[in-house]
Amino acid sequence: MTSPMNILSHRKQRAFRPEKLSVPRNFYVPDAIKVSAADKNKRSLILEIGAGKGKHALSFADQNPNQHLIAIERTRNKFEAFKKLAMQQKLNNLTPIHADALAWIVHAVAPNSVAKIYILYPNPEQHNPNQQWLNMPFFEFLLSRLQEGGEIILATNIEAYMNNAEQEAKETWCLPISRHLVPMHSQRTHFEIKYLARQEVCWQINMYKPEGYRTRFDTWQMEEIKEPSK
């Protein structure tokens, strides 16, 4: 599982321990993930972590029929609202998932399989910065699931969060990035609408996985991926 530290593409020393995470309750692997990588006609696989009530997920799936979005939400009441709307719209390229994102990704997502990952307005964890996404060892595992040339999109209205994310992306994870302001007319999530309506500034950072990028988890996968549960 572990590559020598001197050939890694990043500078994060503390290693994530995926084998410590239990299988989520009611776990299953969606058909979008089971499709063979050899199928040239398959839809690109997109992840959204923290989908809330699904505003961005529903809009994205509707506007991008050639991509399949798996949108993960942990909070039950938000997920149930999201699931209800998804059932009404009957989008065949959207899969809502009720689970903790870390455990679900560890057990369901194969290496080098995801084209894009959205993390829109996560909890800023101001009292526990070690839980911010780019500060966590899990971020290395997340990068291993991303295709070369793929991107992670993070948005927040907290400038300190964005400043830290930009620094970590560059200095720890050694990723090419672009940072910009979210347009005032953007309406991707309920949080985004609320923040921009209050004339707050929102930021977005796009992080790109370079060709040849190496992590400790580039070939690591759970048995559920090799032989998906029926």
User: What confidence tens digit (pLDDT) does each residue in 31-63 have?
Assistant: 888 764 445 457 899 999 999 999 999 999 999
d(CA 48, CA 8): 26
Residues of the chain below pLDDT 70:
1-6, 35-41, 223-230
* pLDDT recorded at residue 3: 44
The answer to whether residues 185 and 155 touch, using CB atoms and an 8 Å cutoff, is no
Long-range contacts, stretch 55-59, CB < 8 angstroms, 24+ apart: 55/187, 55/188, 55/189, 55/190, 56/118, 56/120, 56/188, 56/189, 57/82, 57/86, 57/94, 57/96, 58/82, 58/85, 58/86, 58/89, 58/91, 58/94, 59/188
Q: Where are the beta strands (DSSP E) in the chain?
A: 44-49, 67-73, 94-98, 114-120, 146-156, 177-181, 203-208
Please state the pTM of the whole predicted model: 0.93
Domains (range + CATH), the chain: 43-226 (3.40.50.150)
> pLDDT at position 157, please?
98
Summarised one tens digit per residue, pLDDT across range 76-106 is 999 999 999 999 999 999 999 999 999 999 9
Closest CA to 102 of 57, 136, 138: 138
- The first and second tokens of residue 216, run together, are 């400790």
| pLDDT at residue 35 in the model | 66
